[in-house]
Amino acid sequence: MAQRSGSVTGALNDAPLSLFHLRTVLTAGMGFFTDAYDLFIISAAVTLIKVQWAPSATMLGLLSSTALIAAFVGAFLFGRIADVFGRKSIYGLEAAIMAGGAIASAFAPNILWLIIFRFILGVGIGGDYPVSAVLMSEYSNRKDRGKLVGLVFSMQALGLVAGPIVAMTLLASGVPGDVAWRLMLGLGALPALAVIYLRRTLPESPRYIARVRGKAQDASRAVREYTGGQVVAAVDAEPKVRLSFWQFLRDKRYLRLLLGTAGTWFVFDYAYYGNSISTPLIIKAVAPAATSLETMAWTLIIFSVAAVPGYLLAFLKLDDIGHKRLQWIGFTLMGLAFLALGVIPGITSMLIPFLVIYGVSYFFAEFGPNTTTFVLSAELYPVNMRTTGHGLSAGIAKVGAFIGVFVFPILSAAFGVAGTLRITFVFAMVGVLLTMLLPEPAKQDLEAVSYEENLVAQEA
């Protein structure tokens, strides 16, 4: 039976879970599978590239982290374009950039060109964050929005697992190292190429059409056609939301939200990417006798046993627990796990106890801020600044990730693994404090939690 309402936004807010939601999840989520694979496979590739090219420590640090700083550029650039020209204007383009960057990386003639190609790849990855997140949030209903947007992000779990599996398969099959790392990087193009067509056929966000372009009839038709008639909205005119970029940056309310979403994401990504991309180095420090294949195996076990269940539980329980609440719970317990690894005597020389607690940190990273920072940034900003706000948050986060990846080996050499993890604990506690700046948006209309209705009232 069709879900009817007097407006497009009302119809989408009240719509029951349907197949069109699942279709949007898969279209957006495959991008995050690709993002995770491309970002984290470099940790396996670096060990082989070191043997072939023997680059300096600085070049290795840039190789591991350049895609992350490029993601800052992509997230802000594509996020802003999507608010000015529409989500559909670039949806699919960022996937094409990811595919091109992955293929070019596989054929890089030297370390410098590889860094350049990874930068191009990172621009595409950054652009994928705001557009995919916001499209899903704008198609979601109020009751299940956290679940749906979280499910998109949870596709990252499959990318995390796929990377070590590909690396282990190539190494165990006896593929020469100078060929194996090229295959690892090049295979990231396949899922990106697979979704370009789907993304180009996804219609423009009806909320954007109705409230930014002021075309209620077009928005109503888009909803009806995309949902196969499951959601039918009357052609009621909706108020246009007018907020310029500079007004957005001067508004104290949105600056506070930006400090909360970008700040929490920054400190989380510092901890998460610094640890994740350096996981093989961490395991090697704890178990010096481990081979490359054994290191990849332990990495896969950690991701599969700890990270994947965390992702699954997050999207299943996010709306029930609350988006803000789950974020500070996750930050707290993740931080305490880092602290335990930093202060328990001798823990960094005992592989199994270390990996158990390290796995706990991963579980609460996924069942917590890794999912919630993505979701909160997609729902707390008004419709004409939503991809801008998410893009700024995701971009600033990737600066934190860049710093974490670049400095982790340096800190580890200076303070040891235990000392480095104690520093990570401090970042997690800062995340708890910054989370308190945010409202709780779970099970509320997007228009209410983003203060959009207040903007409309002021305009009137």
pLDDT at 4: 52
pLDDT at 184: 96
pLDDT at 277: 59
- Nearest Cα to Cα of residue 382 among 241, 245, 251, 257: 241
Percent of the residues in the chain that have a pLDDT greater than 90, as a whole number: 57
Whether pLDDT at 113 is above 60:
yes
The mean pLDDT of 409-431, rounded to a whole number, is 88
- Write down the CATH number for the domain with range 3-459: 1.20.1250.20
Whether pLDDT at 111 is above 50:
yes
Report the distance separating Cα 209 and Cα 136, nearest Å.
Answer: 15
Contact assessment for residue 290 and residue 283, using Cβ atoms and an 8 Å cutoff: yes
Whether pLDDT at 387 is above 90:
yes
Per the model's pLDDT, the better-predicted residue between 108 and 458 turns out to be 108
Q: How does residue 1 score in pLDDT terms, banded at 50, 70 and 90?
A: very low
The mean pLDDT of 359-377, rounded to a whole number, is 95
Report the distance separating Cα 266 and Cα 108, nearest Å.
Answer: 30
Comparing 93-102, 293-302, 374-383, 433-442, the range with the smallest average pLDDT is: 293-302
Side chain identity at residue 444, one-letter code: Q
In terms of DSSP bridges, do strands 231-233 and 3-5 run parallel, antiparallel, or are they unpaired? parallel
pLDDT at 276: 66
Q: How does residue 280 score in pLDDT terms, banded at 50, 70 and 90?
A: low
Contact assessment for residue 459 and residue 242, using Cβ atoms and an 8 Å cutoff: yes
pLDDT single digits (tens) 317-352: 999 999 999 999 999 999 999 999 889 988 877 878
- Nearest Cα to Cα of residue 186 among 110, 112, 101: 101
The number of residues making up the chain comes to 460
Ranges of each domain in the chain: 3-459
DSSP state at residue 380: S
The mean pLDDT of 347-369, rounded to a whole number, is 88
Report the distance separating Cα 212 and Cα 350, nearest Å.
Answer: 57
pLDDT at 5: 56
Q: How does residue 266 score in pLDDT terms, banded at 50, 70 and 90?
A: very high
pLDDT at 72: 94
Whether pLDDT at 458 is above 60:
no
Report the distance separating Cα 439 and Cα 367, nearest Å.
Answer: 19
Q: Model pTM?
A: 0.90
Whether pLDDT at 397 is above 90:
yes
Whether pLDDT at 456 is above 70:
no
Contact assessment for residue 288 and residue 269, using Cβ atoms and an 8 Å cutoff: no
Report the distance separating Cα 421 and Cα 344, nearest Å.
Answer: 12
Q: What are the beta bridge partners of residue 3? A: 231
The mean pLDDT of 8-27, rounded to a whole number, is 91
Q: How does residue 364 score in pLDDT terms, banded at 50, 70 and 90?
A: very high
The mean pLDDT of 227-243, rounded to a whole number, is 81
Whether pLDDT at 147 is above 90:
yes
Whether pLDDT at 306 is above 60:
yes
Whether pLDDT at 193 is above 80:
yes
The mean pLDDT of 116-142, rounded to a whole number, is 95
pLDDT single digits (tens) 283-298: 766 777 777 777 778 8
Rg (Cα) of the chain, in Å, rounded?
22
Side chain identity at residue 209, one-letter code: I
pLDDT at 289: 73
Whether pLDDT at 61 is above 50:
yes
